[in-house]
Amino acid sequence: MDALRIRGGRGKPLNGRVRISGAKNAALPILCATLLSDGASRLRNVPRLRDIETTSALLRFLGRDVTVNAPEVHVAAGSDVRPEAPYELVKQMRASVLVLGPLVARFGRAKVSLPGGCAIGARPIDQHLKGLEALGCSIRLERGYVLAEGPGGGGRLKGAEIMFDVPTVGGTENLMMAAALAKGRSTLVNCAREPEVEELGRILNKMGAEVNGAGTDVIHIVGADRGELAPFDHAIIPDRIEAGTYMIAAAMTEGGDVLVEGAELHDLEVLAMKLRSAGVEIESEGHNIRVRRLGELRGVNITTAPHPGFPTDMQAQFLALMATARGESVISETIFENRFMHVPELQRMGASVALRGNTAVVQGVSRLYGAAVMATDLRASASLVIAGIVADEETEVRRIYHLDRGYERIEEKLQGLGVDVERVKGAEA
Ligand code: EPU
């Protein structure tokens, strides 16, 4: 398995420019939305990532014709449709469950493997299923699979009012796609408000559904009055989590000065506020964000929350930043029950962190030490890379296939900022 080897140190500030790729978590649902149409759709600004390959493999399995020529992906109707997402593909990537809504809306039935738990928590899909039932689906769970069928044994879904018990990104997206082809009007309440949900709303509108309110907590959808939606051509929004990760990387060292190119500050307001409180300068320069750290870092508290709160996908990286800040910072994780796997690894690098339930109390230390470390999820792995940037001597972050799921060419982008980092092929697991 590949590893990243980083020779870091406090005396090596990051400098230069880094260009942000398209958003993974916007591209995945949009790829699934292509199932709602038989025409040829074109996605631009798609990141080169393993999760995109996995989704493409899933769409091919379902009978679509997919050509990945990053940063473009073309999807068209292929041979016969097989509305079935097998365990082998879904277990590689939970977001595969996003084919459920489009499949049952378009083809009247779907068989999709239950994703099961993952490294960061149990992650149930009860809200997705409850919403589909409200749209008239009958749902059965059988031998690890969800079997969904439209009304009357495969008929068209019917618009409904759906109230989510918790704001769920994937649940909101699945139901938006299903409602876009349902008969009549749907109202989704207590929706996730993430920019990626808003982006999916734009796509469904391009495809001919009528979606209002995506990006707020109430979404109104009038399903298209025909059996399928129109194809689309669309450039994906920039990845705010990738941008935020480089903003934090820039802030790790005194003297850091980085222009994060193609990133929108309004999607990262809370992170920017927290970085400013920690002593980092953040400015919007057109479609770029300039990050400068001139002096010492101060400890700052964060609590993760659904958008527009502090993103859970930035928690691990921010914790790594706080590891060398002056004073104490209290980091609370409220979205996932098991999202502190980076903590024991950061402790091995010299970080002082006490875990109490869903809260980590960090006492900043003056230096971190390089070590061999690994993590079992994407953002935790990113936090170890960030810690490696400032740690004395050498850090080897192992099992980086997690990083390859969500960060395009991370070592090249970091090298461009002056980080001494290399990918080591087939390093010890
Ligand atoms: N939840 C339920 N029932 C459901 C669905 C969700 O109880 O039916 C709970 C979850 O267990 C969790 C909370 O609701 O406690 C929020 O989960 P959500 O459904 O919003 O998460 P998701 O859609 O599975 C997406 C991102 C994650 C990101 C979360 C939260 C994609 C492909 N994934 O997951 O991204 O952490 O939203 O913002 O969009 C990542 O990129 O590293 C990543 C994990």
Going along the chain from its start, the domains and CATH numbers come out as 3-21+238-424 (3.65.10.10), 24-235 (3.65.10.10)
Instruction: Give Dmax over CA atoms of the chain in angstroms.
Output: 68
Torsion angles phi and psi, residue 425, rounded to 5: -75, 135
Instruction: Name the residue of 166, 197, 237, 240 whose CB sits within 8 Å of the most ligand 1 atoms, as the mutation to test its pocket.
Output: 166
Distance 205 CA to ligand 1 centre (A): 24
Distance 424 CA to ligand 1 centre (A): 32
Distance 285 CA to ligand 1 centre (A): 31
Per-residue pLDDT of the chain (429 residues; tens, 9 = 90+): 899 999 998 888 999 999 999 999 999 999 999 999 999 999 999 999 999 999 999 999 999 999 999 899 999 988 788 899 999 999 989 999 999 999 999 999 999 999 877 788 778 999 999 999 999 999 999 999 999 999 999 999 999 999 999 999 999 999 999 999 999 999 999 999 999 999 999 999 999 999 999 999 999 999 998 889 999 999 999 999 999 999 999 999 999 999 999 999 999 999 999 999 999 999 999 999 999 999 999 999 999 999 999 999 999 999 999 999 999 999 999 999 989 999 999 999 999 999 999 999 999 999 999 999 998 899 999 999 999 999 999 999 999 989 999 999 999 999 999 999 999 988 765
Provide residues with CB under 6 Å of ligand 1.
25, 28, 94-95, 121, 123-128, 166, 168-171, 192, 196, 312-313, 335-336, 378-379, 406
| pLDDT at position 428 | 62
Q: Which atom of ligand 1 is nearest to the CA of 336?
A: 15
And the tokens for 330? 């209290």
Query: Angle 409-295-299 (CA atoms, 0-180°, nearest 5)?
Result: 80
Annotated catalytic residue 32: no
| pLDDT at position 251 | 98
Among protein residues, the one with the nearest Cα to ligand 1's atom 29 is 169
| pLDDT at position 429 | 55
| pLDDT at position 121 | 79
Among protein residues, the one with the nearest Cα to ligand 1's atom 14 is 168
Among protein residues, the one with the nearest Cα to ligand 1's atom 10 is 123
Distance 170 CA to ligand 1 centre (A): 6
Helix (H) / strand (E) containing 387? helix 378-390
Q: Which atom of ligand 1 is nearest to the CA of 166?
A: 14
Instruction: Name the residue of 21, 25, 239 whose CB sits within 8 Å of the most ligand 1 atoms, as the mutation to test its pocket.
Output: 25
Instruction: Name the residue of 112, 169, 358 whose CB sits within 8 Å of the most ligand 1 atoms, as the mutation to test its pocket.
Output: 169
Distances (CA, A) of 131 to 82, 171, 174, 196: 23, 8, 9, 19
Q: Which residue spans within 190-275 are E strands per DSSP?
A: 210-212, 218-222, 233-235, 257-261
Distance 52 CA to ligand 1 centre (A): 18
Q: Which atom of ligand 1 is nearest to the CA of 378?
A: 42
Helix (H) / strand (E) containing 361? strand 359-363
Among protein residues, the one with the nearest Cα to ligand 1's atom 25 is 169
Distance 168 CA to ligand 1 centre (A): 6
| pLDDT at position 79 | 77
| pLDDT at position 225 | 81
Pick the catalytic residue: 32, 118, 137, 191? 118
Cα four-point dihedral sign 317, 323, 325, 327? positive
